[in-house]
């Protein structure tokens, strides 16, 4: 998710409930960017190939408008990072992105998308590119033509968000179209996306899409950052108040370091500070906070703004604790 799943947030989600894999935010590629080197803090995990915090796979995601730029930067990722494949974002509905003929705009002309992907997969090899799509640019009636094109390509996997571009994030995801993709893309794994925020909604998705074995969880993870533990255990999680407080503070400090002392964050990461997930344990969150916080200082405005964003997502999930949290903060 753009502006959400940056590196410190990925480290943090590794600490909350260790998802199996995570996408980077898209790297917007142009004919001049990036140059000879990838941005240092876009995806530091590529140096190891996995996230130490959660032993989670990281999927580097690119946003492009033509095959040459895609192939050039994809080769950098595959060569310097040692990752097995890169992902093409064909799903972002942002007007700015679409106005630049990227993201979900690529779905307007499936044949042109197919030509670009054929050129790139021919250059990189089979299984080196995955694609994330919506069910249409203007309407779901476009989806069969999109699947026809994708089905002819040697893709690693296809992630389907069960909404069209005009739907953005409103209404209900079309699980019937996600299942259609799983049936029609023979030999290409399909990953579903949309509306999963807890174990109960995950069960609904599984029942309606028997051909889909994996799901992406986006905004559901913002509402409940411990959702991956819930899905693994099959039981709702109960989050201690002290865990919420520690996690929120750690989120702020991780972003403060990311923006103002990135090299220190790299050192902490390299030293294995994020190896073990803190999960629901308040003591582990306290120990992590001792490692990432700067004694005698407070996170800056930018880090606090990002922290407010994620708090606004998951405060309803934590509603019974809100007043306790406010009392705790004001007593400090």
User: With contact defined as beta carbons under 8 Å apart, do 153 and 67 qualify?
Assistant: no
Cα–Cα distances in Å, from 308 out to 77, 136, 300, 303, 304?
A: 32, 33, 12, 9, 6
pLDDT for the residue numbered 28: 94
What lies within 8 Å, CB to CB, of 142 at 6+ separation is 107, 110, 135, 136, 164
Would you say residue 131 lies in a domain? yes
Domain that holds residue 250: 241-331
**CA-CA distance, 141 to 48, in Å (whole number)?**
42
The per-residue pLDDT for range 187-238, each reduced to its tens digit, is 999 999 999 988 899 999 999 999 998 999 988 898 889 999 999 988 888 8
For the entire predicted model, the pTM comes to 0.88
Same domain, 319 and 184: no
pLDDT for the residue numbered 1: 65
Q: What's the token pair of residue 54?
A: 């959660």
CATH at residue 142: 3.20.20.70
Same domain, 50 and 13: yes
Give the residue from 191, 210, 231 where a domain finishes: 231
Give the residue from 196, 231, 266 where a domain finishes: 231
Cis peptide before 273 (omega within 30 of 0): no
Would you say residue 52 lies in a domain? yes
Same domain, 211 and 269: no
Would you say residue 2 lies in a domain? no
- Helix or strand (DSSP H, E) at 255: helix 241-260
Give the residue from 174, 202, 231 where a domain finishes: 231
Per-residue model confidence as pLDDT tens for the chain (332 residues): 666 789 999 999 999 999 988 999 999 999 889 988 888 888 887 765 544 444 458 889 999 999 999 999 999 888 876 678 999 999 999 999 999 999 999 999 999 999 999 999 999 999 999 999 999 999 999 999 999 999 999 999 999 999 999 999 899 999 999 999 999 998 999 999 999 988 899 999 999 999 998 999 988 898 889 999 999 988 888 889 899 999 999 999 999 999 999 989 989 998 999 988 999 999 999 999 999 999 889 999 999 999 998 888 877 666 544 444 444 444 44
């Amino acid at each position: 998710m753009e502006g959400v799943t940056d590196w410190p947030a990925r480290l943090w989600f590794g600490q909350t409930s260790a998802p199996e894999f995570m996408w980077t935010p898209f790297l917007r590629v142009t004919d001049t960017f990036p140059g000879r080197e990838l941005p240092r803090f876009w995806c530091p995990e590529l140096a190891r190939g996995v996230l130490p915090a959660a032993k989670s796979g990281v999927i580097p995601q690119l946003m492009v408008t033509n095959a040459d730029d895609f192939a050039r930067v994809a080769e950098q990722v595959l060569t310097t990072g040692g990752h097995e494949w890169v992902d093409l974002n064909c799903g972002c509905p942002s007007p700015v992105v679409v106005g630049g003929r990227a993201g979900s705009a690529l779905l307007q002309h499936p044949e042109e998308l197919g030509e670009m992907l054929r050129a790139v997969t021919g250059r990189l090899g089979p299984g080196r590119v995955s694609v994330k799509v919506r069910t249409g640019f203007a309407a779901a009636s476009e989806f069969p033509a999109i699947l026809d094109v994708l089905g002819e390509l040697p893709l690693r996997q296809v992630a389907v968000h069960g909404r069209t571009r005009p739907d953005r994030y409103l209404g209900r995801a079309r699980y019937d179209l996600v299942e259609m993709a799983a049936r029609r893309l023979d030999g290409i794994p399909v990953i579903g996306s949309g509306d999963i925020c807890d174990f109960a909604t995950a069960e609904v998705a599984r029942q309606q899409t028997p051909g889909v074995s994996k799901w992406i969880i986006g905004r559901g993870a913002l509402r409940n950052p411990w959702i991956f533990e819930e899905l693994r255990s099959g039981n709702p999680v109960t989050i201690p108040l002290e865990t919420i407080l520690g996690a929120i503070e750690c989120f702020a400090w991780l972003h403060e370091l990311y923006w103002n002392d990135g090299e220190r964050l790299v050192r902490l990461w390299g030293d294995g500070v994020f190896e073990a997930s803190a999960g629901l344990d308040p003591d582990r969150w306290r120990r992590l906070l001792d490692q990432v916080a700067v004694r005698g200082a407070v996170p800056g405005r930018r880090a606090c703004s990002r922290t407010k964003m994620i708090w606004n997502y998951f405060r309803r999930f934590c509603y019974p604790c809100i007043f306790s949290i406010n009392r705790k903060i004001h007593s400090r």
